[in-house]
Structure 1
Amino acid sequence: MNQSVLKALDILDLFIGQHDLSLSDISKKLDMPKPTAYRLISALESRGVLSKQKHSEHDIRYTLGLKLLELGNIVSEELETRKIAYPYMESLCKKTNEVVHLVIIDQFEGVYIEKVESNQTLRLHTRVGKRSPLHVGSGPKLLLAYQDQAFIDAYLETSHFSEVTEPFSMTTKTEIKKELEDILLNGYAVSHGEQDAETIGISYPVRDHTGQVCASLAVSGPTIRFFGERGQRIQEETKKTAEAISQALGFKIKGDT
């Protein structure tokens, strides 16, 4: 890892249990030359991670900046979403006997932040923390569809679609744009063999108290188990569960009082 990044993180660690620190404090505690410490502090300050407090000409101290509060709130919201969603995911897994995932967006990737495993002998082998391009898989695709147009345009310009190896993954901008339109029209996303061969995934949006889509609820499994009445029931249960999680997060569904 880049040594400057590690040193910057060392500086931030000093503020654990310490409200403010001067340049000299930081330099001494880390046995770091003052010019090096000042350069790193200035970089952190420019990004809002540290804040300068000038008490006098010779008394300048640094505190943690508001950027960390913003990032901390994001982490807190994600953890709260997982905590609230988990019992609903367990219930959905029992009803469908298929693996259930909760997926969020992180820059240009979908991240699987929670999972409830089925007891099926034939099942998907996924893990919490797995990342996927946003145009691959029902959960990530749904999240991409609900982003604003500027974000979608940026994703389409910077992503390398040919790197995806599964034969059923989309590889052109035209395909992706059409898929996103269909997701918004239908209100859910489906994937067929995009991450693993002969599998299917169905995802519905989870909304927070503001109405924004904050996660996608996905049920996945071998394609052979998602046909006919069983497949229809899985889809209906996934939709109802996503709506229940959204309500638990404070979202008011139309018709509720």
Structure 2
Amino acid sequence: MQVRPAYALTSVDNTLRMLQLLRDNGRLRLKDAAEELQIAPSTAHRLMAMLVYRGFAVQDESRQYLPGPSMGAGPVTGNWNRRLRVLCTPQMEALCADTGETVNLSVRSGTKSRFLFTVESGNVLRVGDRRGAVLPAHLTSGGKVLLAELDDATVRRLFTSPGAETSGDALDEPALADLVRELATIREKGFAANVEATEPGVSALGVPVRGPGGRAVASLHLSAPSSRFERLLERPVLGILFERRRLMEEDLADLGEPDA
């Protein structure tokens, strides 16, 4: 039996217990955390703000908190992530062979986009492996196509939330208006672009990947040196991307829901 240390620090203990709640529940509301830990909501907010700041938690569009990248978790369970990755790999490898460019698979967690898997191009000049990287969703092509699945009011709420403030992803009104307009265009076109928004010399093109229920569960994106980006927008390459995505979605027919 574990014995409580005589020198235990209450704030540290509460923070660790909050981490356990995130780990075990998968989703957590501040109200529920405060009740469970028997602390004031304002105290729960301060503790959660530090977890967000250090990457142990992220806030989603419903203002609930999820395990963050520092916990080695995304918006869904690890087993589901692994199955998603396994099912998507054959078409990712084929897409890389078809186009000669690096292929990534990512998921969205709140305002962040997390790269689950990469099939790296064999070209000498290529974009490297992004596996495990966590970037602002509104800057990445994969993150933007998943944000485009949300309605405008939800997007505004997400990027003006306390969690967005803490993580550094909050947007002011002009930037938010630009994002809302861009997402409308993405919904119309069915794909999103990132032209050197996350790294100089690197651009990407992404599409949503839908599960058997029709909900977008991930994004598939081609990453290339910016010198070759215009080629990605050409009809033959776009056609290949859409077709590989279609075949990938057929492979996901038995995937099930993320919280299954």
- TM-score, normalization by structure 2: 0.64
Displacement after TM superposition at 1:98 (Å) = 0.7
Q: Assess, with a 3 A threshold, how the Cα gap between structure 1 residues 10 and 246 changes in structure 2: closer, same or farther.
A: closer
Provide the rounded CA distance (Å) in 2 between the counterparts of 1:205 and 1:211.
11
Q: 1:91 to 1:6 in 2, by over 3 A?
A: same
Distance (whole Å) between structure 2 residues aligned to residue 11 and residue 2 of structure 1:
14
Aligned partner of 2:230 among 224, 227, 230: 227
The CA deviation at 1:200 is 2.0
Q: CA deviation at 1:127?
A: 2.5
- Larger radius of gyration between Structure 1 and Structure 2: 1
Report the alpha carbon displacement of residue 139 of structure 1 after superposing the two structures with TM: 0.6
SS in 2 for 1:211: coil
Contact 1:193 1:200 survives alignment (8 Å) = yes
Alignment TM-score, normalising by the size of structure 1 = 0.64
Amino acid across the alignment from 1:91: A
Match of 2:199 among 196, 201, 222: 196
Q: How many residues align?
A: 194
Q: What is the identity, as a one-letter code, of the residue corresponding to 1:90?
A: E
What is the RMSD computed on CA atoms of the aligned residues? Answer: 3.5
Q: Distance in 2 between matches of 1:11 and 1:204?
A: 33
- Structure 2 vs 1, CA of residues 191 and 127 (structure 1 numbering), >3 Å: closer, same or farther? closer
**Structure 2 equivalent of residue 47 of structure 1:** none
Contact 1:225 1:231 in 2 (8 A): no
The percentage of aligned residue pairs carrying the same residue is 25
Q: Secondary structure of 1:122's match?
A: coil
Query: 1:116 offset after TM fit, Å?
Result: 0.4
Deviation for aligned residue 1:185: 0.5
Q: 1:180 to 1:7 in 2, by over 3 A?
A: closer
Partner of 2:122: 119
**1:147 positional shift:** 2.1
Higher relative contact order (CA 8 A, sep 6+): 2
1:136 corresponds to which residue?
A: 139
TM-aligned CA distance change 1:94 to 1:123, over 3 Å = same
Tell me by how many angstroms 1:133 deviates: 1.1
Question: Is the contact made by 2:191 and 2:207 (CA closer than 8 Å) also made in structure 1?
Answer: yes
CA 1:156–1:88 in 2, change beyond 3 Å: closer, same or farther?
same
Deviation string, structure 1 residues 183-221 (Cα, Å, up to 9, x no partner): 001111112111122332111110001100011100010
Does 2:138 correspond to 1:152? no
The residue type equivalent to 2:106 in the other structure is V
Counterpart-to-counterpart distance in 2, 1:249 and 1:218: 17
